[in-house]
Structure 1
Amino acid sequence: MSDFFLVAEIKNLFNDEGYLVVSPVTDFPERFIVGLNVYIDVFGENKLFIIEDVINDKGKIYLKFKNFDNSDSIDFLINKRVFVKEEDLVRLEANTYFIHDLIGCKVYKDLKFFGYLTEVYSFPANDVYVVNDEKGEDILIPAIEKFVKSINIQNRRIDISGELDFEDES
């Protein structure tokens, strides 16, 4: 589903009125609003579903799609993944990035190629970037201003601080 971005996974039926239990895969659970177009892979095709109602109960999200009014009509979606198109992604504040935009960026230390960003771990204090260096080793870099000097998504480039020392101390 290129050009589509994962936002939730359907876990189960919620009730007999066609509501589904979904597990958000987003930092923005408030993105689920009435009228939002979402896409679900049904038999190999991206099918459009329109959110008719949303219940957000203490962090649990329940969705009801338009024209699906009972559990029998919607149970085929259990264990499916919910996507949105790029134009429906949440607009980010300055200096914040989608993980999918960071993955694959070249990372430079002191203007010298250092490796590729391969993964991002999200923690309460800050994210941590996983960079696969030229030796094939994964290096963990805290995603804080002290260590990450610049990010240029258009050029797929991240510059990190020369202060970081990754030499083996043993």
Structure 2
Amino acid sequence: MEKRTEIGIRRYCLTDRLKSGGHRILLNRIRIGEIVNVHGVKGALKVLPLTDNPIRFCSLTEVELVPKRRSGGSPKTYKVLSAVPSGNMVLLRLYGIDDRNKAELLRGMFLEIPREKAVKLPKDTYFIGDLIGCSVKEEDGALLGTLTEVQSTGANDIYEITGTDHKTIWIPAIADVIKAVDVEKGEITVSLLPGLREVYEENGGAESGEE
């Protein structure tokens, strides 16, 4: 149900703020990579892709670099000179970054793009950042908690859910479990398999979604 395509960012925006009509405000920017090192002496950057599609870097014309912490400075937009996939990394050249010293200053920054420039998602595929903060309920309306993290295991993703009692449970993101996703409403409906239900009940059970 969920594919780790491009990791959404600015999770602090994923609160209970709603648009008119009961729709949640979705991410306006998408995080696609992190600068983890420099390459050579001419300002090339080693970027760790945070996307299932590293080739998408080859079509970038500009990108915004954002510090890990808001106190680390303001975001800045750079024109992209070149982007070449190299193993599990992408070698990125940016206009104005023409030596190793300038490149070193960008280490640790994230690459972001406007949402409208993100890759088009297939059906039943979602940006992780849009999923973070969604309420997770069973088909009968019982509230399990809030989705707080998505872990990629290779075979399928794992959803980390924090309950109203602050206990954590993990459920697999597979079709037998994830029954419906509505990121605009901020709701995910699940069906707990027998083994998952036993684990959940041992952790304290669910809170009814009905008044």
Give SS of 2:201's match: coil
Structure 1 counterpart of 2:64, from 39, 46, 61: 39
Q: What amino acid is the match of 1:95?
A: D
Q: Distance in 1 between matches of 2:189 and 2:42?
A: 51
Is 2:124 aligned against 1:95?
Answer: yes
Give 1:84's match in structure 2, choosing from 101, 113, 122. Answer: 113
Q: Distance in 2 between matches of 1:75 and 1:136?
A: 40
67-76 or 132-141, which deviates more:
67-76
1:60 deviates by: 2.4
Q: Which residue of 2 aligns with 1:143?
A: 173
Q: Where is the strand percentage greater, Structure 1 or Structure 2?
A: 1
CA-atom RMSD, angstroms?
2.2
Q: Percent identity?
A: 30
2:152 is the counterpart of 1:122: yes
The aligned residue for residue 24 of structure 1 is 49
For structure 1, the 5+ residue unaligned runs are: none
| Deviation readout 1:24-56 (Å, 9 max, x if unpaired) | 222222221254321114773221112111121
Quick check: 2:48–2:88 contact (8 Å CA) kept in 1?
A: no
Contact 2:58 2:84 in 1 (8 A): no
- Does the 8 Å contact 1:34/1:52 carry over to 2? no
SS in 2 for 1:84: strand
Deviation at 1:135, TM superposition (A): 2.6
When you count helix as a share of all residues, which structure comes out higher? 2
CA contact (8 A) 1:130 1:141 kept: yes
Say yes or no: does 1:168 pair with 2:202.
yes
On the 8 A contact 1:5/1:85 being kept in 2, the answer is yes
Return the offset for 1:10: 1.6
Q: What amino acid sits opposite 1:49 in the alignment? A: Y
Matches within 5 A, 1:54-65: 54-65=83-94
| Structure-1-length-normalised TM-score | 0.86
Cα distance, 1:18 vs structure 2: 2.2
In structure 2, the CA distance between the partners of 1:95 and 1:35, relative to structure 1 (3 Å rule), is closer
CA deviation map 1:49-86 (0-9, x unaligned): 12111121222211001243333443322232222222
Which moves more between the two structures, 64-73 or 12-21?
64-73
Contact kept, 8 Å, 1:6 with 1:25, in 2: the verdict is yes
Q: 1:122: how far off?
A: 0.9
Distance 1:70 1:134, change over 3 A: closer
Q: How many Å apart are 1:4 and its aligned residue?
A: 3.1
Are the counterparts in 1 of residues 144 and 163 from structure 2 also a CA contact under 8 Å?
yes
Q: 1:35, 1:92 → 2: CA distance?
A: 18
Distance 1:127 1:87, change over 3 A: same
